[in-house]
């Protein structure tokens, strides 16, 4: 990533401080389509519009902070993934990125499957009518009650994550008189180039069963021996926000090698492999994500090649993108409250949300973009740090970015690419009220997750 200081400098400094920022765009009013959802544009007055509706109207009707989700973009991305992988593969949307009943209905209509990883996500999926056979259930420590519900509902697959779970699921399935379709999640030993907290295929972490020391082969032996289980395949998820396909290719190769070993030892060719999610999106103009068709081609080429050389039937591939589908489809809209210029440093811009609606900056040092969206401006760029209203100095939404120097309280600013892991990881810190998610499409906006109220807070506080 090329990072350099802006030669002109911010309004309050001759020399820019150390930081992790790119030079400002030549024109701050231009919205980089890489980071904004597809129907976002500026109207004749310079205000940002999404789905044909101007942000001022959205702010007036729904308040700030709020997430605005571009429904037609979401649906288009679902279709792009489904088309790229075609009828011989399955795309499971990873619900952890963001899940609501409306989202489940869109997925169902667009032909996607759904990956859930908790009882709550399972309930949401079933309640909104996702057929159970199109649901995959994940997690490194599913409770007995969650497994029970998943088996009872008839989920299409449970991804087994530990030796204990192999036995637990088998027992529960037997008690229900069914053979539960399962996959075994293996850790293939790939070091994914992403933040440590979201890398999952190296061995020293909590997920999956290691390939390297023969543990995965042992898990397969045990699963094949249990009547309650129908082992349909092997699963590998290497991490999140990954751009380099090399890690996926190593993972696919190792998973296929395991299938060959299983065939040699047990005489069975498992029919499926799941290569997980984790494809990166553009948070800033420096990020260059892959298109679904490139990803599909890279994965299917490598699997086909490896299978040919191992003389295996090519298994059905599934993938589990979460962020790559929902991430780019939403932005968070904030109102600027206070502005604090620090001579020689930067300008702190406080908004009406913060780490309670986007924890990713504090947790992963994530980078975001930001734009003034209620109007355009010809003022000089100034180096800003967009911060929230929480009682914590690490309450940062956008660490280093440029906004016009005439920014004023009352202006609306928006942070794009907040569709994934923002509302789903939102908290009530400082008794903040979690913002609504508003779906916008073809000139209509409707709340799909409503704003929390103080009554909601008090309802849980039973005295
Ligand atoms: N499949 C499995 C088994 C997963 O664990 C995950 C994400 C996904 C699929 C979807 O990954 P995606 O395509 O969305 O990257 N909170 C972090 C991300 C944690 C991801 C956890 N697992 C973040 O905000 O970056």
Sorted by where each begins, the domain ranges of the chain are: 13-70+328-460, 138-321
Pick from 365, 368, 370, 360: nearest CA to 402: 370
pLDDT in tens, 264-288: 999 999 999 999 999 999 999 999 9
Choice between 75 and 190, residue whose per-residue pLDDT is larger:
75
Say if residue 218's pLDDT is above 50.
yes
**Annotated binding-site residue numbers:** 278, 320-323, 360, 364, 392, 421
> What is the distance in A from the centroid of ligand 1 to the CA of 97?
7
**How much is the pTM?**
0.95
DSSP strand E in 239-375: where?
272-274, 316-319, 330-341, 347-351, 371-372
The more confident residue out of 16 and 239 is 239
Pocket lining: 360 vs ligand 1, CB cutoff 6 Å: yes
Question: Is the pLDDT score of 177 beyond 80?
Answer: yes
Determine the Cα–Cα distance for residues 227 and 218; give it in Å rounded to an integer: 17
CATH topology of domain 13-70+328-460: Lyase, Ornithine Decarboxylase; Chain A, domain 1 (2.40.37)
Of ligand 1's listed atoms, the one at least distance from the Cα of 422 is: 24
Tens digits of residue pLDDT in 296-314 = 999 999 999 999 999 999 9
**pLDDT value at position 204?**
80
Closest listed residue to residue 223, CA positions, set 149, 305, 158, 129: 158
10 Å CB burial of residue 353 (0-12, 13-18, 19+) is buried
Q: Which of 138, 225, 132, 93 is nearest to 147 (CA)?
A: 138
Tally of CA atoms within 13 A in the half-sphere of 369 that contains its CB: 28
User: Which tens digits make up the pLDDT trace of 314-367?
Assistant: 999 999 999 999 999 999 999 999 999 999 999 999 999 999 999 999 999 999
> CB neighbours of 246 closer than 8 A, spacing ≥ 6?
none
Please state at what angle helix 144-153 crosses helix 119-127, rounded to 10 degrees.
20
The answer to which of 36-40, 194-198, 388-392 has the lowest mean pLDDT is: 194-198
> pLDDT class for 200, splitting at 50, 70, 90?
low
Please tell me the distance between residue 179's alpha carbon and the centre of ligand 1 in angstroms: 28
- Does CATH number 3.30.56.10 belong to domain 138-321? no
> Between residues 371 and 205, which one has the greater pLDDT?
371
Q: What are phi and psi of 395, to 5 degrees?
A: -80, 75
Q: What is the pLDDT of residue 199?
A: 66
How much is the mean pLDDT over the chain? 94
54/448 Cα distance (integer angstroms) = 19
**Residue 447 scores a pLDDT above 80:** yes
417 contacts 426 by C-beta, under 8 angstroms: no
Q: Which of 117, 307, 391, 422 is catalytic?
A: 391
Spatial separation of the C-alpha atoms in residues 262 and 279, rounded to whole Å: 28
Q: What is the pLDDT of residues 378-417, one digit of tens each?
A: 999 999 999 999 999 999 999 999 999 999 999 999 999 9
Question: What pLDDT was estimated at residue 203?
Answer: 74
pLDDT of 430 above 50: yes
Host H or E run for residue 153: helix 144-153
Report CA 345 to chain centroid distance, whole Å.
33
Task: Identify the pLDDT of residue 16.
Answer: 67
Known catalytic residue at 391 = yes
Sign of CA dihedral 277, 120, 437, 92: positive
The runs of H, that is alpha helices, within 292-382 are 292-310, 323-326, 360-364
Q: Say yes or no: CB of residue 423 within 6 Å of ligand 1.
A: no
CA atoms within 13 A on the CB side of 426: 26
CA distance 279 to 239: 9
Each residue's pLDDT tens digit, 15-29: 567 666 778 888 999
Give the pLDDT score at 196. Answer: 64
Question: Ligand 1: distance of its center to the CA of 208 in Å?
Answer: 14
- Alpha carbon distance 338, 348 (integer Å): 8
Confidence band for 195, pLDDT divided at 50, 70 and 90: low
Residue bearing the bigger pLDDT, 117 or 8: 117
Q: Ligand 1 pocket, 137 CB below 6 A?
A: no
Q: Would you state the pLDDT for residue 138? A: 98
Q: How far, in Å, CA of 347 to CA of 383, rounded?
A: 6
Pocket test for ligand 1, best of 320, 357, 397, 425 (most atoms within 8 A of CB): 320
Q: How far is the CA of 342 from the centre of ligand 1 (A)?
A: 37
Q: What CA–CA distance (Å, rounded) separates 15 from 173?
A: 66
pLDDT of residue 197: 63
Q: Is the dihedral of CA 49, 54, 56, 57 positive or negative?
A: negative
Work out the pLDDT band at 193, boundaries 50, 70, 90. Answer: low
Cβ–Cβ under 8 Å, residues 418 and 332: yes
Question: Is ligand 1 within 6 A of the CB of residue 239?
Answer: no
């Amino acid at each position: 990533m090329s990072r350099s200081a802006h030669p002109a400098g911010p309004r309050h400094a001759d020399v820019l401080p150390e930081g992790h920022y790119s030079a400002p765009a030549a024109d701050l009013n231009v919205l980089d389509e890489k980071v904004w959802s597809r129907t976002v544009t500026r109207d004749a007055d310079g205000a940002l519009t999404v789905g044909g509706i101007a942000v001022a109207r959205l702010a007036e009707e729904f308040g700030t902070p709020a997430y605005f989700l571009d429904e037609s973009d979401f649906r288009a991305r679902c279709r792009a993934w489904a088309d790229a992988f075609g009828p011989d593969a399955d795309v499971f949307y990873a619900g952890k990125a963001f899940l609501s009943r409306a989202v489940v209905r869109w997925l169902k209509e667009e032909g996607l499957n759904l990956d859930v990883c908790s009882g709550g996500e399972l309930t949401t999926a079933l309640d909104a009518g996702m057929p159970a056979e199109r649901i995959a259930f994940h997690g490194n420590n599913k409770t007995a009650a969650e497994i029970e519900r998943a088996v009872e509902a008839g989920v299409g697959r449970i991804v087994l994550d530990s030796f204990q779970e192999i036995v637990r699921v088998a027992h529960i399935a037997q008690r229900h008189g069914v053979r539960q379709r399962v996959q075994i999640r293996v850790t293939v030993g790939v070091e994914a180039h992403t933040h440590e907290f979201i890398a999952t295929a190296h061995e020293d972490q909590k997920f999956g069963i290691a390939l390297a020391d023969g543990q995965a082969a042992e898990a397969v032996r045990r699963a094949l021996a249990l009547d309650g289980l129908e082992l349909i395949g092997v699963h590998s998820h290497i991490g999140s926000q990954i751009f380099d396909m090399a890690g996926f290719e190593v993972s696919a190769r190792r998973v296929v090698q395991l299938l060959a070993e299983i065939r040699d030892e047990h005489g069975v060719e498992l029919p499926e492999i799941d290569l997980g999610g984790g494809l990166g999106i553009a948070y800033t103009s420096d990020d260059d994500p892959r298109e679904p068709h490139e990803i599909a081609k890279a994965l299917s080429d490598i699997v086909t090649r490896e299978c040919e050389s191992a003389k295996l039937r090519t298994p059905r591939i599934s993938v589990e993108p979460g962020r790559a589908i929902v991430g780019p489809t939403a932005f968070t809209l904030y109102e600027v409250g206070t502005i604090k210029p620090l001579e020689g440093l930067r300008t702190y811009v406080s908004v009406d949300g913060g780490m309670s609606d986007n924890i990713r900056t504090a947790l992963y040092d994530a980078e975001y973009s930001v734009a003034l969206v209620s109007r355009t401006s010809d003022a000089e760029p100034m180096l800003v740090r967009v911060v929230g209203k929480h009682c914590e100095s690490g309450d940062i939404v956008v660490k280093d970015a440029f906004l016009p120097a005439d920014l004023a309280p009352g202006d609306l600013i928006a942070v794009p690419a907040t569709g994934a892991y923002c509302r789903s990881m939102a908290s009530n810190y400082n008794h903040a009220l979690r913002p609504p998610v508003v779906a916008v499409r073809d000139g209509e906006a409707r709340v799909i997750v409503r704003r929390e109220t103080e009554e909601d807070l008090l309802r849980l506080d039973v005295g």
